[in-house]
Structure formats: structure tokens, C-alpha cells
Structure 1
Amino acid sequence: MNTSLMGVIDATTFHKSLKDLILHRTIAALPFGGRYRLIDFVLSSMVNSGITSVGVFPKYNYRSLMDHLGSGRNWDLNRKRDGLFFFPAPMFDAPYKQIGAFDHFSYHINYFKRSKQEYVIVANCYSVFNMDFNDVLDRHIENKCDITELTKYGNSLEVYLLKRELLIELLETKDITGYTCLKDVMNDSNNRYAICSYEYDDYFVMIDSVESYYHTSLQLLDSFTWKKLFRKDQPIYTKVKDEPPTYYGKGAVVENSMIANGCIIEGHVENSIISRAVKICKGTVIKNCIIMQKTQIGENCYLDSVILDKDVKIEDGIELVPLRLNKPIVVKKGVVQGALMNQ
């Protein structure tokens, strides 16, 4: 247990390049790897670092995120003291307007003032990684830093460590300084703080576009990447769902793919990630695809390099192949793709 460090997850960001996948959910709740959500990686890293107080600050479309996190029990954060705290945005008139996280944080400033931890990790919610923040804290204290920024190859990872009292000061003076987030502080060459960088040399990918989401997802099929992320000593936790095992039909073929529980697979699946309760009918070929929960794909279809969101229905005989290389097709949540639409 780390009594000197608390966690803050900034879930206020809206990436326009991910619009087709986050119109009905916050980016923190974007499904990943068949059974996870993006927030699971930063939240698990905090819990594995001994952090017992985590505040999540979403801005829009956060119903699915609330459902996923629940009481925090799956991350051992349903506690009498500290635990998981959920702080919705105070304004709903312009959900996609980017005004900076400080405005959101300051609305809930009493959370920071009442907390007992001396230091705070402020992290984005859309990165795939698995790390121990105690190493960052040790370096921060050793070098007598005011703010430590995590970097990779010199580029910001939008993860910061600073004293809780300094964060409160930044929130209370934001109207004077003009700072809207910690990135603004980093970009101000005239800031009065001792800024340090912590170069992180392990696996870390920021999901900020459909292309990065697609390619990072399929990287999980590589055993080297899988072992980097999913470690026995630092597990990635997620919401647990009890579902029956996947049923494989007599003619089913599955190669180099991840198949979640509760599916019915009767076709050919290759180099793909299939989420819970997906149905793939006979004669259908799925290659290099990401298929989200409860999607149904009819008979004799051919899909290559396609992302199907939740509850999509693909009718019989549909072919979906992107026109451009490395530019996957995205079918939005709940869409019915039929022969007429395909034409």
C-alpha cells in the first residue's frame, strides 16, 4: 500500500480522429483486447503501485464507464477509506469543447484538499501500458522535482507526478496563470517550477486515432507484446463477467486470434480479436478484424481489416474490405449492414 501517492485519471479528452468509436462512450470506456477497456491499463497500474485512492474525471458520455467501474471492487478499490471516486463534469452544454482538465478538477477541489496523500499521479485514460509508478516517485523525490513528466523518446506521455499541494495551487491560480492543464505548465518556458522528465523505456502506446487503436489492438496477437502488457506480478484488472465458454462449430477454423467467452464461431477467423457474445456464421471469413461485443455476422461474408462496434449486425453475403491500405473500415455501434447498404 502506497500511503504517499494518489491517482487522478483525466478522462476529459475527446479525440476527433476516434469519433466513430466514441460517439456513444468516453474514450476511457473504449473496448480493447476483447475483454478490457482502455481505462483498465492506467487504473491497474495505479492499483499495482499500491495506490488506494483514485479519482476519475470524465466529461461526456460516461454511462458505460460508470457501469464498467462500478464500486471499484474488481480493482480492490471498494474501501471504507479512500477507494475509487467518480467525478462527472459540471457542464453539459458543450461536451466536446476542449477547455482543459483544470476547470473540471477545480470544480471538485475539495477532493484534493481532503485527501491525505502527499503526491499525486495525473494520467490520461487512453494509453496502453503496465508500469510501477513507485519508480517515478523515487526519482521525483531524489531529484527534488516540482513536476515530473513521463516521456518516451523525448515525447510526452501525458502522465505527471507532483505534490498534491502544488496541484491545488495550480487549480486555485489557473485564472491568473492561464494554465488549463499540466501540459500548459510544461509548455511555458517561463514557469517557475523545477521540471523533470522520466524516460520510460517499456511498452507504452497512446490511442489517439482509429489507426492507432486498430494497430495497437492487433499487436496483442504478438506474444512479445502480450508478455510486456500482461504480467503475473502486475495483472491488468477489468470487470468480471460470468459467461459460458465459446462454442466452435464443426467447420470452424481459428488462427492466431483472441476469442472471448460466450461466442458462437462457425466460420473462419484469422488474426482477429473477437469480444464476448459474438456470432460468426457458416461460410464467413474474418481476417485482421476487431469485432466488439454482441455483434452478429451472417453466412458467407468476407471481412478484412474491419472494426465492428457493439451490437452490429452484418447480413448474409456481405463483403467489407477497405479501399486504402492501413485504413480500416469502422462500422458504428448498432448498425445493420445489409446487401442494399453494401452497394
Structure 2
Amino acid sequence: MTLMAAVDASVKVAGLQDLTIHRSVSSIPFAGRYRLIDFALSNLVNADINSVGIFASPPFGSLIDHIGVGKSWDLDRRKEGLFFLPTTHQNGGIATVGSFHDFEEHLQFFEKSRHTHIVVTSSFVAGQLDYKEMLDHHLASGKDITEAVGTGGSLKSYILSRRLMLELIHSYRQKRILSVEDLVNLKKAPYSYGVYEYKGYFAIIDSIQQYFKESLGLLDENNRRLLFLPQAPIYTKVKDEPPTRYLDGSSVSNSMMANGSTVLGNVKNSIISRAVTIGINANLDHCIIMQKCTIEENCELAYVIADKDVYIEKGVRLTGTADRPIVLRKGERVTKEDSQ
């Protein structure tokens, strides 16, 4: 039995709107140097799945820039490998995983494959699913569709036969079902449904609050050890940048720091991405700062998410809360007057 995969990168997640104006959910930065889709792709290649279709809806420029031809995941192959399959949904697809409408648009991806079974998964769950083990469980159960579940709910990943997938694509309008997730939730006859119990660490990123909570939760070393396993690496696009520079007078504690940044201020309980500049006497606490942001001197930031290319002028003071972090949108410039 062999597996292929369909990664749904078109799911519309309303709770992440501030971070998805210029990108899809799948390409939201996570844990300093990764994108959310890295976890789905890495789980697949770690299970020796080498035929992967990414179903994406606009805006997907950021996603294309990140995954390219799949080289970082060893999916740039002459046979099979990575397939980028754009859909006609604008500004995100439906709210459930595995849209049959999207699959129908690229029916040949399923028809031409020789694989017997397929993984359907989302791109907004960070975890370490073992699809080889899940397939063995699926086959042993004799069920038509198996759903991965963990403590607290679904991991938005499913295994079914390719034959059944083709049947569902051809009949979804008649059966009045939208997606694989929709089918599993409705438990439509005559199919049988099983569950695969996942006992590892996972994070479902479906709102700003969850994104903030799960991101800063990785400052706990125990969580990092559970998510980043030596035997199952999480791969991402490689960027050659120098180490972060910590200049005289700076201090950093309990934080994750990516490469290429310059720190002159004070950072604690925060996640700092690549190529960020933090000025003299700037104080950051419980912040997530994405790539290429600039924070000038004497700024006071607490419970802030700054998207890529944000510029914060000197003396700005911004204070959110754990439940309601302040979100600065991509490319935004914040002045001292804005923060008063």
C-alpha cells in the first residue's frame, strides 16, 4: 500500500484575517524561521510520501515564494514530487479541509496516480503525525476513512483509498457534501469512519489568539522537544544569513531568535524572526516580531504581533494582552502619535 497526499492550502480561516491579507494561512510565519505549511510537508516527506499536491487559492504569492519547486523538502523530482495546484476560489476557499470542488478542478492529479491511498491534510496544524503508522491503523481497522484526532479534537488529517476519493469527487454534488472534513463530520452513509489516536504535541492555528498562545508556548523547552524531533526533522526554505548580533547594552532572555537580526535593546519572552533590528533601549516583552521589522530606540512593546516589514518609530508604546494581542499588519509604519 502506498500513499500520495493532498495538502489543502486554500482553507478560509476567518480568525486569522489580520495575518492573511497578503498571504494564505499556510504561509504564516511560525516559531521564528518556519511557515505553517512546513509542518504538513515535513510530516509527509518523513513518511516517504513523494507525490504531494498543494491546493492553493489566492493570495498565494508568498506561498509560491516559500515552497518553490519543493527542493527544501526533497520534492523537486523528475517523477512525481511537488505539484502546485491553484484553485478558482478567491481570497481563501471554504472553511473545511479537502474541498471536492478544488479536487475536481485537478482531477488528473488523482486519476493518473498509481498510489493506492491518499492523505488529505490541512496546512494550519503544527505537529508530528506519523502517516506510516496512521496508514497501518487505517488498513487494520477496515474503515473507509480514518481521521487523526488528538486531545481536544481533530488534527484535520484523513486517510482514504484513492478509489474512494475518485468516487467522492464524482458524487459530491449529489451527496451534498463540501469536503472530506464535511463528510467525516456528517458521517454520511454508506461509508464507515475510524479514528487514529495521536498522542503527541500539536497546535491548531485557527485564530489570532491561538496563534499567539501556541507560538509563545514554544518558549517552553518541553514543548519544543515534543514538536521538533531529531528523528523527524521539520524542513523549511533555507536562507543563508549571518548569526544575530547582540551589541553592547542589549539583553535577551527566554526568547527564540532567528538569524540575521541586530539587537541593541532588551527582549524577553518573545519570538524574533530573521533580519529584525531592535534599537537602543527598546523593550520587548511577549512579542512576536516577523521578518525584516525595524523597532527604533526607546520603544515599549508588550503582547504585540508585528507582521513582516513593520517599521516602529522611536518612542512608540504599545501594550496588548494575552487574549487580545495588538496586531500590526504587514508593511505598517507606527509613529509615536499613533500609539497615544
Matched, 1:334 2:334: no
From 184, 204, 207, the counterpart of 2:205: 207
Gaps of 5+ in 1: none
Question: How big is the shift at 1:55?
Answer: 0.5
CA distance in 2, matches of 1:10, 1:229: 21
Deviations 1:98-139 (A, max 9, x none): 386110110000110001110000001100101211111001
- Structure 2 matches for 1:177-188, cutoff 5 A? 177-188=175-186
3-state SS of paired residue (2:338)? helix
Deviations 1:7-34 (A, max 9, x none): 1101111211110011110000000011
- Structure 2 matches for 1:127-206, cutoff 5 A? 127-153=125-151, 155-206=153-204
| TM-score (ref. length: structure 1) | 0.96
3-state SS of paired residue (2:160)? strand
Instruction: Identify if the C-alpha distance between structure 1 residues 325 and 235 changes in structure 2 by more than 3 Å, giving closer, same or farther.
Output: closer
Deviations 1:278-336 (A, max 9, x none): 000001001110000000001011101100000000000011101x5521110101110
Deviations 1:70-89 (A, max 9, x none): 11111000111110000011
Equivalent residues, number: 338
CA distance in 1, matches of 2:126, 2:18: 20
Question: How big is the shift at 1:175?
Answer: 1.4
Do 2:31 and 2:218's aligned partners in 1 also have CA atoms closer than 8 Å?
Answer: yes
Question: How big is the shift at 1:97?
Answer: 5.7
Deviations 1:174-202 (A, max 9, x none): 11111110122113344211211111111
Deviations 1:148-169 (A, max 9, x none): 0111236222210000111111
- Structure 2 matches for 1:278-297, cutoff 5 A? 278-297=276-295
Q: In the alignment, what sits opposite 1:57?
A: 55
CA distance in 2, matches of 1:339, 1:310: 20
CA distance in 2, matches of 1:269, 1:339: 20
Do 1:185 and 1:191's aligned partners in 2 also have CA atoms closer than 8 Å?
Answer: no
CA distance in 2, matches of 1:285, 1:99: 38
CA distance in 2, matches of 1:220, 1:305: 15
Q: In the alignment, what sits opposite 2:77?
A: 79
CA distance in 2, matches of 1:342, 1:26: 28
3-state SS of paired residue (1:104)? helix
CA distance in 1, matches of 2:221, 2:277: 26
Do 1:154 and 1:199's aligned partners in 2 also have CA atoms closer than 8 Å?
Answer: no
- Structure 2 matches for 1:1-343, cutoff 5 A? 4-92=2-90, 95-96=91-92, 98=94, 101-153=99-151, 155-322=153-320, 324-343=321-340
CA distance in 1, matches of 2:186, 2:229: 38
Question: How big is the shift at 1:220?
Answer: 1.2
> Percent of aligned positions with the same letter in both sequences?
43
Comparing 198-207 with 230-239, greater Cα deviation is found at 198-207
Gaps of 5+ in 2: none
Let me know the Cα RMSD of the aligned residues: 1.3
Do 2:56 and 2:86's aligned partners in 1 also have CA atoms closer than 8 Å?
Answer: yes
Do 1:56 and 1:87's aligned partners in 2 also have CA atoms closer than 8 Å?
Answer: yes
CA distance in 1, matches of 2:152, 2:196: 9
